[in-house]
Amino acid sequence: MSSILLISGSPSHPSRTYGLLEYVNTYLQKEGITTNILSVRDLPAEDLIFGQYNSSALEVPKELLANAAAVVIATPIYKASYTGVLKTFLDLLPQKALEQKVVLPLATGGTIAHLLATEFTLKPVLAELGARHILGTVYAVDKQLTWAEDGSLQIEAEIEQRLQTAIADFVKIFRSIKA
């Protein structure tokens, strides 16, 4: 269990949410940490919608999660909650799939009004799945994340600073677990 799994709950690609996840992935790799990225949108829709717990397509994602010491979950916020595609995936995980894992939630949204959505919707589910330590969420409003002409995501300085602080804390906890 020496890797970190990054989970994208965005139903679209490219997305600002996925861009944040890529930023975290780059940071972690520069720290010499092994990572894997899972985009839930790439899993078979029928397996997710029909609740096919034993789907062979879910074996690899479940194994990646089981072997990860820590998890970063990124989701856009729609209508004051995380995405349905992420919800269907989390519903198919074993009851204690996040047991003993550190989790860093990231969220994006169209307005600051949804700032607390992860506190009231996502974090309780992560705790129910056994997450050992859920760090504070980094929430970015869409206007703080813009696309450059070259297709790269530009992150407003304030959000980037908060993101770097959160990742540094996450890495510190990850390394203490790994030791």
Helices (H), 41-152: 45-49, 59-67, 84-91, 117, 123-128
Measured in residues, the chain has a length of 179
| Pairing verdict, β 145-147 and 153-155 | antiparallel
What number is the average pLDDT over the span 151-160?
92
Hey, what are 153's tokens?
């995501």
Instruction: Note down the domain range covering 160.
Output: 3-178
- State the total domains in the chain: 1
Which pLDDT belongs to residue 113? 87
Cα→Cα distances 35→68, 71, 81, Å: 9, 10, 26
Q: What is the CATH number of the domain that holds 136?
A: 3.40.50.360
Which segment of 44-48, 109-113, 166-170 scores lowest on mean pLDDT? 109-113
d(CA 132, CA 82) in angstroms, rounded, equals 20
The pLDDT mean for the chain works out to: 93
Beta carbons of 133 and 103 less than 8 angstroms apart: yes
> Tens digit of pLDDT for each residue in 30-73?
999 999 999 999 999 999 999 999 999 999 999 999 999 999 99
Closest to 6 (Cα-Cα) out of 73, 94, 96? 73
